[in-house]
């Protein structure tokens, strides 16, 4: 939801402040050609960065830098010194910098009357239009003016000058006097520099009235008058407040709210202290401030504070349920409750939001609410019945089609692109045509490029990655991930970034590169992004999943069990992200299988199959394969045969290539268990070369192990006599397959798989007559078992 929906209902009280007066003086120097050729570009960049609207395409740089520049310029004149001092001026004595000329111009404004004249003459910097000339335009510039060029009425500088001149006419005398005192305090830090440059500069040069009357009043009386007028701020007795205007405050708050809503981040830590003081010195109705505090509390995971700040904000804006703010209040309430796991309250709030938006005919809010509602029901289907009872949306396809058409009608291209990507995801989940999913992705990509929807790049990348993974093309999937992190991460939502990083880390872990995976997670995420509760939570759980995977492969079941229990607790508390749920369940099933608790593993798989009847087809196929593996280990390969054939058929029909190779490997295991060794070998010989393209060490190790079992089975069926050579050849082929499998198990750190392979190799070597090699494999097996028992003893003592 854009921050434009949360503008303060109160009008801006004042636009001008000392920093804007300094910008006007700098623009005047530019029009006088007093800025040297070398300094022209830096000066124009500086003025433009504070004159143009807060648009990232017009003002490149990090969000924290932009906010920091606004605060620094409003707070101190040092921001001007940093830009102007290094460059030489085109006028004045040789060696003078633009900073010297700039200060000289500022210190000529030495009274309220001079400031009034200065601001009154700003409109003279503009080029007169034809209409003004026709009406008899009178030039307000004095004859001695050094202006050599004027500003075109359509230029950004002219718009800024016109705005300042107009706001000057609206100032009351009291406001003008306050502006003068603020300007004196703002300019005062440069007094020491002016005193070194000009010997005639005195302590009262900031006010010509005091300076000219000092001989008549006397020094003591003049000091008393200065203290009464300036409240001792100039002499340093009192710390002056930052001269904050409504314009600066709304720009900064709008910018920060937009960044937090757009990218899901918090206020950068390096400017948070400055920002708080900036807000404390503002004398305004604190409506914006409450909403910003709500977003910050939400991002840091403080549920109680976020609700309190949100109520404080909407108490100042929602005075009547029929006002336009009411549905947005309900939408924010729903999002906040869902974020912290209060799903029933979220459903109630979002349904009220939809109802109110329909009554108010607020199409924008209604479309946002329906889009959020659709994704909520996809992630939490247990609440779909309550929503369907309210008759707000149909099924997934109907709801997305409705949202896409409505968004296109009103020009909400972000929502239209999101609906297209949602349709592509739904097509993949239902196992429908991959070509149709690609068509949706291409249409969404076209909208993103056509309308510059930078924040949708992360969602587009996620769907594209899912497509490449489904087709068994991990090279393209990783290329998309690296391209996203290299070129588009600055414009993407931080949650999309952490998901892409997690995807790359998971791929590295699947190859056994655990060190690189942890380095990817810890080094590729901005530490400032981890201050956001949801991002840090996802980051922590991804690290926990990779840690549990590594410990399972190392057969360190106690450590893996502890980590998996914590992840399961997160799942039971409904704090686990939807895309990590099945990964955690698969780890738990793998743990139960390794603990030889096949009954519990089978019960777990059965319960997941019952819940995933209408879920993602890839999850259903994985569960079928897990069930088949458990049946094979339980000595019931006949029951696993039907499951493996169905899984292979479904994977082939839906082009889930990686699952197809896994299903064929499971089918080969079934055939080996049933004594059909030749058929299993033919299947594996056809599948293994293609499965190696998937770049998964575990799948390759399992397939090579199954191939070795099939060849050993064929060797055992060979008779004597002339077939003795063939029998030996089969056994040598099995040994070769076990060696290839051992290479993949070593990469993964798979302790059990390596030991089983060594035991089989020892039998093969003894059978073919190589007793020495057989003893070597047996020694490796025994040393591995002893090392594991020694590690378990150390862990038990600790």
pLDDT of residue 173: 84
H-state helical runs in 340-395: 343-360, 363-379, 384-389
The three-state DSSP-derived secondary structure of 213-243 is HHHHHCHHHHHHHHHHHHCCCCCCCCCCCCC
Per DSSP, 9 falls in state S
Element (DSSP H or E) covering residue 646 = helix 637-653
> In terms of Cα–Cα distance, which of 51, 67, 74, 396 is closest to 254?
67
| CA dist., res. 189 & res. 302, Å (int) | 41
H-state helical runs in 108-245: 112-120, 130-134, 156-169, 173-187, 191-197, 208-217, 219-230
Q: Which residues pair with 126 in a beta bridge?
A: 151
pLDDT of residue 236: 55
pLDDT of residue 261: 61
558: helix, strand or coil? helix
| CA dist., res. 3 & res. 661, Å (int) | 49
| CA dist., res. 739 & res. 73, Å (int) | 68
Note the pLDDT tens digit of each residue in 602-659. Answer: 999 999 998 887 778 999 999 999 999 999 999 899 999 999 999 999 999 999 999 9
Compute φ and ψ for 33, nearest 5 degrees.
60, 30
Torsion sign, CA atoms 224, 225, 230, 236? negative
**For helices 617-633 and 578-594, angle between their N-to-C axes, nearest 10 degrees:** 0
Element (DSSP H or E) covering residue 665 = helix 657-673
pLDDT of residue 138: 52
| CA dist., res. 761 & res. 753, Å (int) | 12
CB within 8 Å of 23: residues ≥ 6 apart:
47, 50, 51, 160
| CA dist., res. 426 & res. 397, Å (int) | 8
Rg over CA atoms, the chain: 36
The three-state DSSP-derived secondary structure of 380-449 is CHHHHHHHHHCCCCCCHHHHHHHHHHHHHHHCCHHHHHHHHHHHHHHHHHHCCCHHHHHHHHHHHHHHHH
Residues in the chain where the model's pLDDT stays below 70: 1-14, 53-68, 91-93, 95, 128-146, 148, 231-242, 244, 246, 249-250, 252-288, 316-324, 384-396, 488-491, 718-722, 793-798
The region that residue 483 occupies, defined by phi over 0 for left and psi between -120 and 50 for alpha, beta otherwise, is: alpha
Long-range pairs, 321-330, Cβ under 8 A, ≥24: 321/356, 322/359, 322/360, 324/360, 324/362, 326/356, 326/360, 327/353, 327/356, 327/357, 327/360, 327/362, 327/365, 327/366, 327/369, 328/1, 328/5, 328/6, 328/353, 328/365, 330/356
Compute φ and ψ for 555, nearest 5 degrees.
65, 25
pLDDT of residue 54: 55
| CA dist., res. 327 & res. 780, Å (int) | 68
Contact 230, 178 (CB under 8 A): no
């Amino acid at each position: 939801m854009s921050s434009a929906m949360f503008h303060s209902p109160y009008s801006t009280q004042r636009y001008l402040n000392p920093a804007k007066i300094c910008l006007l003086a700098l623009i005047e120097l530019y029009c006088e050609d007093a800025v040297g050729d070398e300094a022209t570009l830096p000066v124009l960049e500086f003025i433009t960065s504070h004159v143009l609207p807060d648009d990232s395409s017009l003002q490149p740089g990090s969000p924290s830098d932009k906010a920091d520049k606004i605060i620094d310029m409003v707070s101190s004149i040092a921001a001007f010194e940093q830009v102007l001092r290094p460059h030489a001026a085109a006028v004045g004595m040789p060696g003078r910098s633009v900073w010297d000329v700039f200060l000289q111009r500022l210190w000529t404004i030495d009274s309220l009357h001079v400031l009034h004249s200065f601001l009154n003459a700003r409109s003279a910097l503009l080029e007169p239009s034809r209409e003004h000339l026709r009406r008899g335009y009178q030039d307000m510039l004095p004859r001695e003016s050094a202006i050599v060029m004027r500003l075109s009425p359509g230029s950004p500088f002219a718009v800024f000058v016109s705005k300042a001149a107009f706001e000057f006419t609206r100032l009351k005398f009291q406001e003008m006097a306050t502006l003068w005192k603020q300007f004196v305090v703002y300019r005062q830090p440069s007094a020491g520099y002016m005193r070194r440059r000009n010997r005639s500069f005195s302590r009262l040069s900031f006010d010509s009235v005091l300076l000219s009357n000092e001989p008549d009043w006397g020094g003591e009386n003049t000091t008393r008058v200065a203290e009464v007028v300036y409240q001792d701020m100039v002499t340093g007795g009192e710390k002056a407040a930052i001269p904050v205007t409504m314009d600066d405050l709304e720009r900064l708050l709008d910018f920060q709210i937009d960044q937090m809503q757009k990218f899901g981040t918090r206020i950068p830590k390096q400017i948070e202290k400055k920002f708080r003081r900036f807000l404390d010195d503002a004398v305004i109705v604190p409506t914006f401030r409450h909403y910003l505090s709500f977003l910050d509390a939400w991002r840091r995971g403080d549920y109680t504070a976020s609700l309190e700040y949100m109520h404080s904000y909407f108490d100042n804006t929602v005075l009547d349920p029929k006002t336009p703010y009411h549905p947005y209040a309900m939408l924010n309430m729903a999002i906040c409750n869902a974020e912290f796991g209060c799903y029933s309250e979220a459903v109630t709030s979002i349904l009220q939001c939809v109802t109110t938006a329909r009554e108010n005919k607020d199409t924008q809010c209604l479309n946002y609410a329906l889009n959020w509602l659709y994704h909520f029901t996809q992630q939490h289907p247990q609440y779909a019945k309550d929503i369907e009872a309210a008759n707000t949306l149909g099924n997934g396809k109907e709801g997305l089609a409705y949202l896409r058409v409505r968004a296109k009608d009103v020009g909400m291209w972000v929502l239209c692109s999101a609906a297209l990507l949602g349709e592509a995801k739904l097509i993949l989940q239902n196992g429908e045509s991959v070509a149709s999913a690609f068509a949706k992705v291409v249409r969404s990509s076209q909208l993103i490029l056509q309308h510059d929807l930078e924040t949708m790049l992360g969602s587009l990348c996620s769907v594209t990655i899912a497509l490449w993974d489904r087709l068994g093309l991990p090279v393209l999937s990783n290329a998309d991930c690296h391209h996203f992190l290299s070129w588009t991460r600055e414009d993407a939502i931080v949650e999309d970034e952490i998901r892409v990083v997690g995807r790359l880390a998971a791929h590295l872990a699947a190859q056994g590169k655990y060190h690189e995976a942890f380095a990817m997670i810890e080094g590729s995420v901005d530490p400032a992004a981890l201050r956001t509760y949801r991002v840090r939570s996802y980051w922590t759980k991804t690290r926990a999943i990779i840690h549990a995977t590594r410990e399972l492969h190392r057969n360190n079941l106690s450590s893996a069990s502890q980590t998996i229990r914590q992840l399961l607790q997160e799942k039971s508390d409904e704090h686990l992200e939807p895309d990590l749920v099945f990964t955690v369940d698969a780890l738990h099933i793998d743990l139960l299988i390794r603990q030889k608790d096949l009954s519990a593993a089978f019960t777990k798989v059965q319960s997941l199959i019952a819940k995933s009847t209408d879920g993602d087809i890839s999850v259903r196929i994985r569960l079928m394969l897990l069930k088949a593996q458990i049946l094979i280990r339980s000595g019931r390969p006949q029951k696993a045969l039907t499951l493996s054939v169905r899984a292979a058929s479904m994977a082939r029909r839906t082009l889930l290539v990686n699952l197809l190779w896994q299903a064929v490997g499971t089918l080969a295991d079934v055939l080996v268990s049933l004594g059909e060794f030749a058929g299993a070998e033919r299947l594996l010989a056809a599948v293994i070369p293609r499965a190696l393209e998937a770049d998964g060490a575990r799948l390759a190790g399992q397939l090579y192990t199954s191939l070795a079992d099939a060849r050993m089975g064929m060797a055992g069926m060979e008779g004597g006599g002339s077939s003795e050579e063939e029998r030996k050849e089969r056994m040598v082929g099995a040994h070769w397959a076990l060696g290839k499998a051992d290479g993949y198990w070593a990469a993964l750190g798979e302790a059990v798989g390596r030991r089983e392979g060594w035991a089989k190799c020892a039998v093969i070597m003894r059978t073919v007559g190589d007793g020495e090699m057989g003893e070597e494999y047996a020694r490796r097996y025994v040393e591995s078992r002893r090392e594991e028992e020694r590690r378990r003893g150390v862990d038990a003592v600790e």
